[in-house]
Structure 1
């Protein structure tokens, strides 16, 4: 009996993977075309059965959408019409039980960062008077996420003490409540960020995936947190491997400070596609002296670094944000359950 059980166990381990038949009746890809995939950021507070039954009523799509629970964290909603699907996505960030959801349209081969970003409208307040321009507002929005829309009309009066931008926010990161700006000449100022339609979050670490009472940072002093972050940041900087090794055509052409990850945004200073194009240019036989090529690459990068718009479009290959003259586009309430600052 023991030998039979051992043989059975070994046979199971050696079984080949089951190949799903590539037949129409086996695949639901055709139905999935009109579907939205989603992820609950705080599954402990977002029971999946309630989410599936509630969201269709919340969207006012009862009878026209069908929810499917895929796991305790992931779900799918299949729509009957393209109009209803787009209407839900156009609502911006969605919540269930006051905690955020990540929603994206179904794709057959999802990228690595699928269900990682949510569109959020951010109210930026206390902006210095000299920085009410599309370029400056785009740069300020990039401090939170990837700026997609700037709701700003320079030809009309601004009656509110903030400007709204829509960003794609990485849900693995904490929300920023403020940021100190260096204005040059030893002058600094602090801008504030408020997030529309974002209800609950941890008000200790500003993450969207757990309650404040279970936050691992709650019982630490703020000074200890700041010191620990500084120490870790310094360790990372010291241990970071050079981006350009000695065999790289760009070694000695660009400085290490010009490549790698920008600590302010968490994104590459120069994306891989642009770096690869520079390498091909330096190695190509085009009848130019290598010193001329080096000088041209260096000047191009230096000029782009001086202009935030050029950094975005030339070095990072990011699209220019849409300029919306509708100042209340997609506007929603700002939920703040944190402690109020004393006047």
Structure 2
């Protein structure tokens, strides 16, 4: 059944034609007193999650740790309010700002009797300042830089950072120029702590480049490809760093086992130097063994005994053998190495280095025994 045209027309009234309801003047002082232990917040990005999910998620013990001692209210228009049972819990939550939900920032301020569509719109960040020479790291200088961003609430001059409460509806500032007392201009860069997502084009925190109104669809796709290439490059650099760290750790482990092997060459050189000192140079050049003094033979015997004692001290101890056997018990066949290498790309390289070390250690030990005989 069709609806009457007059009824359909009345359901879409213009905002200017809507009737204004006048509210009565009443005493609300008791409500103002009750909300003295309340926090009010606003989500800047409204397309990802709902406000109800934020209210139920944030008080958990692994985030704010106030579950059961706070009550959340959805105020509409992406705003919400948390009423706390104690002042200590309220201050604890305020100390954990800036707050995020699914890596999107939201404002959180102490409740005041304020009426406005965009309240609250402030966010508190610790901002690292770089570019200022260390002999200008003074509280007054950092306050001057932070005042250009918002209201300065704290300064840590020794760490070159400043805490600022800024208007989150405005674009963020990441760089500026400052004039020193000497008259020189320096470029100052700002790095925001715990800032996860924002638009890299217009620097707003309410959306990213995928929904930036200043970009066309082609520009969004091109920027997304550039960001993807940057992420892949950073991922490759991180993997290389992890691989180098694993190799260094393995070399340290191998060094603990093969320390005697590394010390053999210096010991042999030292022994050759001693021999060159003890044996007269003219007899070495002549090469006449039968005409040497019998005392030289005794000296050579003492040197041989000394070298044997040195090699005995350098022989791997029981701890080294036990550690080597520990590695031998963990030997993996080649077929399994290839299979495991697919899941662990650094494991095949580690096994290869361990095998090379065992072969080198065995060859060195075999040469030493042969030389001893």
In which range does the TM-score fall when normalised by the shorter chain?
0.5 to 0.7
Report the counterpart of residue 47 of structure 1 in structure 2.
Answer: 50
- Relative to the length of structure 2, the TM-score reads 0.49
Equivalent position SS for 1:95: strand
Q: Secondary structure at the match of 1:174?
A: coil
Give the Cα–Cα distance (whole angstroms) in 1 for the partners of residues 232 and 26 of structure 2.
53
Q: For the structure 1 residues 131 and 62, does the alpha-carbon distance in structure 2 shift closer, same or farther, using more than 3 Å as the test?
A: same
Counterpart of 2:267 in structure 1 is: none
TM superposition shift of 1:116 = 2.2
Change over 3 Å in CA distance of 1:28–1:147 after alignment to 2: closer
1:16-165 aligned at under 5 Å gives the runs 17=21, 19-20=23-24, 22=26, 28-57=31-60, 58-109=63-114, 114-152=119-157, 163-165=160-162
Pairing 1:130-279 to 2, within 5 Å after superposition: 130-152=135-157, 163-183=160-180, 187-218=184-215
**CA apart distance, 1:100:** 1.0
RMSD: 3.8
* Secondary structure of 1:38's aligned partner: strand
Q: Provide the rounded CA distance (Å) in 1 between the counterparts of 2:34 and 2:232.
A: 43
Would you say the 8 A contact 2:139–2:156 is kept in 1? no
Structure 1: where are the runs of 5+ without partners? 153-157, 222-336
Question: Secondary structure at 2:42's aligned position in 1?
Answer: strand
In the superposition, the TM-score normalised over structure 1's length comes to: 0.53
Q: Distance in 1 between matches of 2:20 and 2:119?
A: 29
Offset at residue 124 of structure 1 (A): 0.6
Name 1:315's counterpart in structure 2: none
Query: 1:92-114 CA deviation, whole Å, 9 max, x = no partner?
Result: 21111111111111122458984
Asked if the contact 2:127/2:190 (under 8 Å) is kept, the reply is: yes
CA contact (8 A) 1:121 1:166 kept: yes
Give the drift of 1:183: 4.7
Runs of 4+ in 1 over 6 A off after TM superposition: 13-16, 337-340
**Which sections of structure 2, spanning at least 5 residues, go unmatched?**
220-230, 238-373
Distance 1:214 1:170 in 2: 21
What is residue 155 of structure 1 aligned with on the other side?
none
Describe the shift of the 1:83–1:183 C-alpha distance in structure 2 as closer, same or farther (beyond 3 A): closer
Q: CA deviation at 1:184?
A: 8.4
Question: Separation in 2 of the partners of 1:83 and 1:20?
Answer: 36
Distance 2:50 2:233 in 1: 28
Q: Is the 8 A contact 2:152 2:163 kept in 1?
A: yes
SS of alignment partner, residue 45 of structure 2: coil
Hey, what's the Cα distance between the residues in 2 that align with 1:105 and 1:218? Answer: 36
What do residues 24-74 of structure 1 show as CA deviations (whole Å, max 9, x unaligned)?
A: 7x9744432221111001111232121011111121111111111111411
Whole-angstrom CA distance in 2 between matches of 1:14 and 1:182: 55
Shift of 1:187: 4.5
* Alignment match, 1:313: none
**Cα pair distance change 1:338/1:18, threshold 3 Å:** farther
- The aligned counterpart of 2:306 is none
Give the 3 Å change call, closer, same or farther, for CA 165–218 of structure 1 in structure 2. same
Cα distance in 2, alignment partners of residues 338 and 180 from structure 1: 32
Whole-Å separation in 1 of the counterparts to 2:197 and 2:97? 16
More helix by share: 2
How far apart, CA to CA, are the structure 2 residues paired with 1:173 and 1:142? 15
Q: Which structure has the greater CA radius of gyration?
A: 2
- Provide closer, same or farther for how the CA distance between residues 50 and 128 of structure 1 changes in structure 2, counting only shifts above 3 A: same
2: CA distance between counterparts of 1:28 and 1:175? 36
